[in-house]
Amino acid sequence: MSINLIKKELNHYKTLPHRARLLVTAYNLRSIAQPILSLFINAFIWRMTSSIMLVLVYSLGYFFALPIGFIVNGKVLRKFSLVQTHFAGNMLSILGATAVIFFHSSSVINLLIFGMIYGLGNGIYWSSRNYLSYQETDSDTRTYFFSIVSALASTITIIVSFLAGWIIAFSDISRLYSAFVAYVFVSAIAIMSLFVSGLVLSKSNFKTPRIKGIWHPYISKRWNIVRAVNFSIGIFETIVSLITTLLILNFLGNEGILGTIGAVISILTIVLMYFYGRFSKDSHREKVFFIMLLISVVLASILAFGNSNFTILLYVLLSGMPPSFYWLVFYPWQMNIMDEELISHESDKYPLIVDCEIFLDLGRIIGILIFMGLIYIFSSSVALLITPLVLAVLQVLLFAIIWKKISWKKI
């Protein structure tokens, strides 16, 4: 029975176009590096400084430079191919992240600069990736495409988070090697996976867009809703992963525990995400998103008022699920709206992608600044517990304003 199910799923996967399947492979090679680039770089800053504020400074630099990377890529694509910029973005992002390890600096300015280099590289990478995803899928395949990418990425995250976490933690347990050597080793794995990811896309001819402009020249009411959705998601989404990492390191353990819990989180979401993409209908979007908003507020309330290691663990294990579903619900929807917007404005595809990123990152930056403000008003430990509730409630209020204006039905 299980063999037949696997064959059935493989046959369904093969219905994706060849270039779309190459994207799945390249994206999931990137997924090997992602926990190392994000999760464990933040953990390294914490290990080095024990300062939540410095972790946030690095993240602030990252999200400030991320939309700049999108803008720079629009200029670069006039001379280089989409595959080349995809590869260059990967390499620049690993340069920014590993600089944190090799320079071993706790300076606010240095961490801000390293975060900006990482953000610039990621901006170039994600603008290339977003365009490739849009270009190689259509409204009939997007939900399945993003679900299979998410499901495979979650599987890889399970393995990488667990192994990398305990490779680092074992340095403290065994004293056979230093934590620095462990971080260098896992960084080398990230570098190799990003390099191969770039090579995979060189096996096919992907069309490179003709970028005539960076800015979106017209604003429709429908597109303003897309902007509002991106801003509202951004204000909460990034803080969840940051706070989860900091909660684990502050209250629950070291990098080994961080990696283990990261793996468990991925297991809890992977099956739901895959089956949502495989069997869901567009009519389910509204209900699924409402449920995820509700779960975010409930989990944040438990964290704020629970005041125990158990409630912290409960939040850490489940809080990543709603943001994952936010993107499963809205990213295909957003691309479908792009289709409609571009019926008579084909050359404006890239500016639309840049526009989305600017409003998404604006929300992320505001979320981080609110977190910093709460640390200043209260303390680091209090802010860790109450920030998710503050931002979850703010997100609900923002969506309440635009809820009836969202076109939940398939466009």
Task: Note whether 30 and 90 are within 8 A (CB).
Answer: yes
> What span, in angstroms and rounded, lies between the C-alpha atoms of 220 and 217?
10
* H, E, C per residue of the chain: CHHHHHHHHHHHHCCCCHHHHHHHHHHHHHHHHHHHHHHHHHHHHHHHHCCHHHHHHHHHHHHHHHHHHHHHHHHHCCCCCHHHHHHHHHHHHHHHHHHHHHHCCCCHHHHHHHHHHHHHHHHHHHHHHHHHHHHCCCCCCHHHHHHHHHHHHHHHHHHHHHHHHHHHHHHHHHCCCCHHHHHHHHHHHHHHHHHHHHHHHCCCCCCCCCCCCCCCCCCCHHHHHHHHHHHHHHHHHHHHHHHHHHHHHHHHCCHHHHHHHHHHHHHHHHHHHHHHHHHCCHHHHHHHHHHHHHHHHHHHHHHHHHCCHHHHHHHHHHCCHHHHHHHHHHHHHHHHHHHHHCCCCHHHHHHHHHHHHHHHHHHHHHHHHHHHHHHHHCCHHHHHHHHHHHHHHHHHHHHHHHHHHCCCCCC
Which of 7-11, 39-43, 48-52, 346-350 tops mean pLDDT? 48-52
246: Cα within 13 Å, side-chain hemisphere: 25
pLDDT for 348 equals: 65
Span between the terminal Cα atoms of the chain, in Å: 37
Task: Note whether 185 and 44 are within 8 A (CB).
Answer: no
- pLDDT at position 410 over 60: no
- pLDDT at position 39 over 50: yes
The residue behind tokens 């204006």 is 405
> What span, in angstroms and rounded, lies between the C-alpha atoms of 275 and 278?
5
Please indicate whether residue 352 or residue 346 has the higher confidence score (pLDDT). Answer: 352
pTM for the model: 0.85
pLDDT band at 339 (very low <50, low <70, confident <90, very high): confident
Task: Note whether 371 and 381 are within 8 A (CB).
Answer: no
Please indicate whether residue 114 or residue 272 has the higher confidence score (pLDDT). Answer: 114
User: 12: which 2 tokens?
Assistant: 């369904």
Write out pLDDT tens, residues 358-395: 999 999 999 999 999 999 999 999 999 999 999 999 99
pLDDT band at 162 (very low <50, low <70, confident <90, very high): confident
Domains recognised in the chain with CATH numbers: 12-203+212-405 (1.20.1250.20)
pLDDT for 234 equals: 93
The residue behind tokens 């191969």 is 196
- pLDDT at position 294 over 90: yes
pLDDT band at 1 (very low <50, low <70, confident <90, very high): very low
The average pLDDT across 64-84 equals: 90
Please indicate whether residue 272 or residue 387 has the higher confidence score (pLDDT). Answer: 387
- pLDDT at position 231 over 70: yes
pLDDT for 153 equals: 83
- pLDDT at position 158 over 60: yes
> What span, in angstroms and rounded, lies between the C-alpha atoms of 130 and 137?
11
How far apart, in Å, are the Cα atoms of 222 and each of 74, 341, 353? 24, 9, 15
Mean residue pLDDT of the chain comes to 85
The residue behind tokens 């990621």 is 122
- pLDDT at position 271 over 90: no
Task: Note whether 168 and 179 are within 8 A (CB).
Answer: yes
How many percent of the chain have pLDDT more than 70? 90
pLDDT for 50 equals: 87
pLDDT for 217 equals: 61
